[in-house]
């Protein structure tokens, strides 16, 4: 007969919260596993009444959705937590933000509505700064035009099962050069900046795959590693190529 843990089972969750957090500065080099550990410690320090799984090794009920790759910053990472008693979402946000290290910043916290949060994350908007590439560089412009005109561009990436080839063009919905700047990049010399809208797919097409595609079609490669930030992720607005706010329904707003 299978063993069962001693004592009563943990109480069922009574509330689910959805959070948006940022990964900024040097914390962009933290892995998803690093963030998981930091979050669990922060939840304990903030005295958030987490609901736990049953069994011999209970874990707090946390669901992560589509984490950004290690080395990339993000303004739009999402997760869900389940609570054993009801709490004010804004109070949870403030307490958790205070308990996390600077650079891991909790930006929004709302009570979850119906449906799956993961299903809403259909596409991402990426900002790709290219240090060493001048603004309005004709070689970059030609490479972007060539890539967008291609029907398919095969790139390769090392996976846990070895090198894998896949199409990086099909998921790329938009790729534009922008002259916009922000506070984070104001301390660096001006450089070319790309903004990419990428549909989530399997395998996921990441910003480094977009750069690999530029190399494949036009032999374009930046002289220095790019500085990448995810600006948004959420439902894809068909026909416009824009990405809506995945928490819009909970906030009573219309994402755009």
Query: For residue 177, what are the contacts with CB-CB under 8 A and spacing of at least 6?
Result: 136, 140, 141, 144, 192, 193, 194, 195
Q: Output helix, strand, coil percentages for the chain, rounded to the nearest 5.
A: 25, 30, 45
Prediction pTM value: 0.90
Q: Retrieve residue 13's tokens.
A: 């969750």
Delimit the CATH 3.30.70.580 region(s) of the chain.
15-119
Close Cβ partners of 86 (under 8 Å, ≥ 6 residues apart): 14, 15
CA 85 – CA 14 distance, rounded (Å): 6
- Please give the CATH topology (third level) of the domain spanning 122-243: Alpha-Beta Plaits (3.30.70)
Alpha carbon separation from 198 to 79, 117, 201 (Å, rounded): 20, 18, 9
Q: What is the pLDDT of residue 187?
A: 63
CATH 3.30.70.580 fits 15-119, yes or no: yes
Binning pLDDT at 50, 70 and 90, where does residue 256 land? very low
The mean pLDDT of 77-102, rounded to a whole number, is 97
| pLDDT, tens digit (0-9, with 9 covering 90-100), for 96-128 | 999 999 999 999 999 999 999 999 999 999 999
Nearest CA among 8, 244, 222 for reference residue 129:
222
Residue 225 pLDDT greater than 80, yes or no = yes
Confidence of residue 238 (pLDDT cuts 50, 70, 90): confident
Rounded Cα distance, 206 and 200, in Å? 9
Residue for token pair 């509330």: 15
């Amino acid at each position: 007969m299978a063993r069962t843990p001693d004592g009563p089972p943990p109480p069922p969750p009574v509330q689910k919260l959805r959070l948006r957090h940022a990964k900024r500065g040097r914390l962009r080099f933290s892995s998803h596993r690093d963030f998981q550990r930091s979050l669990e410690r922060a939840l304990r320090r903030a005295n958030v009444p987490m609901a736990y799984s049953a069994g011999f090794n209970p874990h707090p009920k946390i669901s992560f959705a589509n984490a950004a790759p290690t080395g990339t910053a993000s303004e739009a990472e999402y997760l869900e937590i389940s609570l054993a008693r009801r709490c004010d979402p804004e109070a949870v946000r403030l307490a958790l933000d205070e308990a996390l290290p600077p650079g891991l910043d909790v930006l929004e916290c709302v009570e979850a509505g119906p449906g799956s949060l993961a299903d809403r994350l259909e596409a991402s908007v990426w900002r790709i700064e290219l240090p060493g590439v001048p603004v309005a560089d004709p070689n970059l412009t030609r490479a972007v035009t060539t890539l967008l005109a291609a029907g398919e561009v095969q790139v390769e990436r090392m996976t846990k099962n070895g090198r894998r080839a896949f199409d990086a063009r099909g998921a790329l919905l938009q790729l534009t050069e922008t002259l916009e700047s922000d506070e984070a990049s104001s301390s660096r010399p001006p450089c070319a900046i790309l903004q990419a809208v990428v549909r989530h797919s399997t395998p996921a097409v990441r910003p480094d795959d977009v750069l690999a595609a530029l190399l494949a079609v036009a032999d374009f490669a930046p002289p220095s590693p790019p500085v990448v930030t995810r600006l948004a992720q959420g439902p894809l607005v068909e026909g416009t190529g824009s990405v809506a706010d995945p928490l819009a329904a909970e906030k009573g707003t219309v994402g755009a």
